[in-house]
Amino acid sequence: MAKERKQKTIARELIEIVVVIAVAYIFYFGMGIALGTSTPMFSVVSESMEPTLHIGDMVIVQVEKTYNVGDIVVYMRGNIPIIHRIIEKNSEGYIIKGDNNKTNPIPDPGIVKENQIIGKAIVTFPVLGAPRYFLYKIGI
């Protein structure tokens, strides 16, 4: 009897884990659809945006029709997402730079094109991006 009860408890816990993962998956992709991007969440992985954003913060982004000077955006440089601020907009694209003048005294190299931008930061959650940051640090 005790063995049966233990097996039912283990089965129930496994089902609960699967349900939690499924709900998180649905939430993530539903949020992506609502915000117009396939990647709606990013973790801050450097000090380049301090004091505005800190390592381990989670940033939620939304696609915008247009981006303006002062917007914090996530853009792709190769296959690496960068979270920085637009400091200038011209006919070719955007000049972007991190807020931290100690680690980032000059703008990012080159002009960032509209199609490189994933979205504008609309909400930041302190520390919630820490688990993702730790995975990034160990190379996962």
State the pTM of this model. 0.79
Q: How many CB atoms lie within 10 A of CB 55?
A: 17
Q: What is the pLDDT of residues 12-51, one digit of tens each?
A: 888 898 888 888 878 877 777 778 887 888 999 999 999 9
86/104 Cα distance (integer angstroms) = 14
| Token pair belonging to 85 | 């601020």
Q: pLDDT > 70: what percent of the chain?
A: 94
Do 56 and 44 contact (CB within 8 A), yes or no?
yes
Enter the CATH code of domain 41-137. Answer: 2.10.109.10
> 20-41: buried (b, 16+ CB within 10 Å) or exposed (e) per residue?
eeeeeeeeeeeebeebebeebb
